[in-house]
Structures are given as structure tokens and as C-alpha cells.
Amino acid sequence: MAVDLADRLGPTLRHLAGIESGGHAGDARQRLIGILEELAAELPEDLGTAFAAALALREDVRFRFLDERMQWLADRMQRDARTARRRADEAIRLVEAAATAPAVKLREYEDWHLTRLRALLQLDRAEPFAIEERTVVAAADLTEIIIATSIPAPDGERAEARSAELSVLYGGTLIRSTWPTASYFRYAIRLPRPLRRGESHDFGISITTPRDQPLNPRYAIQPLRRCDEFDLRIRFGAAGPARAVWRIAGLPRGMVDDFADPEALVRPDAVGDVHLRYEHLKTGLVYGARWSTPA
């Protein structure tokens, strides 16, 4: 990765990803990957895969040369390499249009920010259950909030689309949800009343995951907009098996799945809870917790 990556990017991508000129190349790379993945998630699943292959966003397709990535895509599509290249070009054009069109340019990342995200994950239940409470501040007139989230599956396993159940607990009404991929979904909440610039609003949602759905042992966020505070509680349960739990405090995304730094270990309390809190999160980096599972 070129050390001058930040200076080689155009202004739109730099702004969307929160990359400053002269910043650390590794940090800039992770922020860039994060925003590209977010933009790609707007595409239909086949085009999203083509986009990820073209730019080597996926771990399983990070070949050095484009021809190798296009052959991987062709094999996956069961088409020839020329067709795969056309699909990749189409996906890139759509993402470019979405990122630069005057009507929507930067809107999603400028219309509001988080002053607080408070999350409770309960793993001592038959079905994993999470409550997420957000305090948002409008930077423009708002009538709805759009949130993106994912339930990542372990390597080689895929969650079934629409298998998680999402409910709005307070502060709005769920008006739509989409699943661009089997593990990534977006939902829109209509607010009880329009918010004006500078006004704040609280809302809460719950997510229930079926007990037989495979999950990666982590709970984390990768903010792509300003986030002032992330307060996370995880209940493993006093009767649950012993686990190692690691604090994730602003890591590049590629480090998270196998992160096991002894200095980042945290111990659940007497009732099996872990409480972590982060302030002034950096966009594009990952915050939360990872834990080991019983052998």
C-alpha cells in the first residue's frame, strides 16, 4: 500500500472516509476499505460481490492481480472472465454515481451523528439478544434515520438472510429494512416528529438472533460517521463456560477476527458481565469486544 494513499485519493472519498492528508497509511487504508464496503452494500448482492472482487475488499479474493480476481468472479458467477469484468465495471460505475451524485453527495454521513450508542448483548439466553440505544444529533432537517449493521458468520458458514428479528423499542417506527448480503442489513426508522438542525433524539431497537445461526464471537462497531461515546455491556452469565474476552479499542478491521493481545484481556465480573466504554471513536476503526468460544 502506497504511503501517500491519502494524497492520491479524491476529495469525495477522503471526506466520506474521514482521511486526512499526511495521515498514517495503514489507518487510511482501513478507513477507505470501510467506506467502500459501506457503499458496496447498497448494491444488489451480485454487483456487491463484483465490486468487492474488483477492489480486493474480501479476504478470499485478495489476489495481487486484477485478472486473478476477475477469474475468481467468473468462476463464482459461472460465466467467462469478460462477463465478470463487465459486471465489475457496472458495479464501480453505480458506486461512483452514488458517491458523487449532487442530490445525495455525502448526505448519509453528514445529516446526523451519534453522541452516544449504548448496547447490551445477552448471551446467557437460548437466543442471543441485543438492545441498542442511540442518541443522535441532527446536522440537517431529518424525518428518518438509516442504520447499517451486520451479523457476521464464521468462515465457511453463512447466516440465512432475514433470519434476525429486529424491533423498534421506542423513539420511532420501523418503515423498511433491506439485506444487501446474507449477513449485512440496513433499516430505516421514521422519527415521531421532524428534527431540526442541532436537535437530539433517542431511540432504541432490539435484535434477536436464532439459536442455530452461526456467529462470530465478537460484538463491535466500525463508525463511518462521528461517534462520541460507545457503551457496551455483554452478559455471558455466571453459569456459562469460562471465556477469554479481549477489549477492541480502535483496531483496523483486518485485525479483529484473530485479535488476542494478552494486554487487552478483560475479566467478566461475578455475574458474568463485561462493561466497556469508548469515547471519541475514530471513523473507520473497530471498537467493542471479542471472546473465545469453548473448544
| Residue pLDDT tens, the chain, 295 long | 445 666 666 666 666 666 666 666 667 777 777 777 777 776 667 778 888 888 887 777 777 788 888 898 888 888 888 888 888 887 787 777 666 543 343 345 568 999 999 999 999 888 889 999 999 999 888 999 988 887 766 654 555 545 678 899 999 999 988 776 666 678 899 999 999 989 999 999 999 988 777 778 899 998 878 899 999 999 998 766 657 999 999 887 778 888 889 999 999 998 899 999 999 998 778 899 999 876 5
Q: What is the pLDDT of residue 13?
A: 66
- Calculate the alpha carbon distances from 128 to 22, 179, 234, 272 in Å: 42, 20, 11, 15
Q: What is the pLDDT of residue 105?
A: 39
Q: What is the pLDDT of residue 237?
A: 85
Residue intervals of the chain classified under CATH 2.60.40 are 109-291
Q: What is the pLDDT of residue 241?
A: 61
* Secondary-structure breakdown of the chain: helix, strand, coil percentages, each rounded to the nearest 5: 30, 35, 40
What DSSP string runs through 80-123? Answer: -HHHHHHHHHHHHHHHHHHHH-TTTTTHHHHSEEEEEEEEEEE-
Q: What is the pLDDT of residue 102?
A: 39
Q: What is the pLDDT of residue 140?
A: 84
Cβ(71)–Cβ(30) below 8 Å: no
Give the strands of the sheet with 173-178, arranged side by side.
142-150, 184-195, 173-178
- Calculate the alpha carbon distances from 161 to 45, 77, 153, 180, 188 in Å: 11, 20, 12, 9, 17
Instruction: Map grid coordinates 486526512 to a residue.
Output: 20
Q: What is the pLDDT of residue 80?
A: 87
Q: What is the pLDDT of residue 130?
A: 95
Q: What is the pLDDT of residue 172?
A: 96
CA distance 128 to 122: 6
Q: What is the pLDDT of residue 156?
A: 47
Phi, psi of 273 (to 5 degrees): -105, 150
Torsion, Cα 48 49 52 57, to 10 degrees, reads: 120
Class in CATH terms, 109-291: mainly beta
CA distance 276 to 269: 12
The pTM of the full predicted model, rounded to 2 decimals, is 0.65
Q: What is the pLDDT of residue 288?
A: 96
Q: What is the pLDDT of residue 223?
A: 84
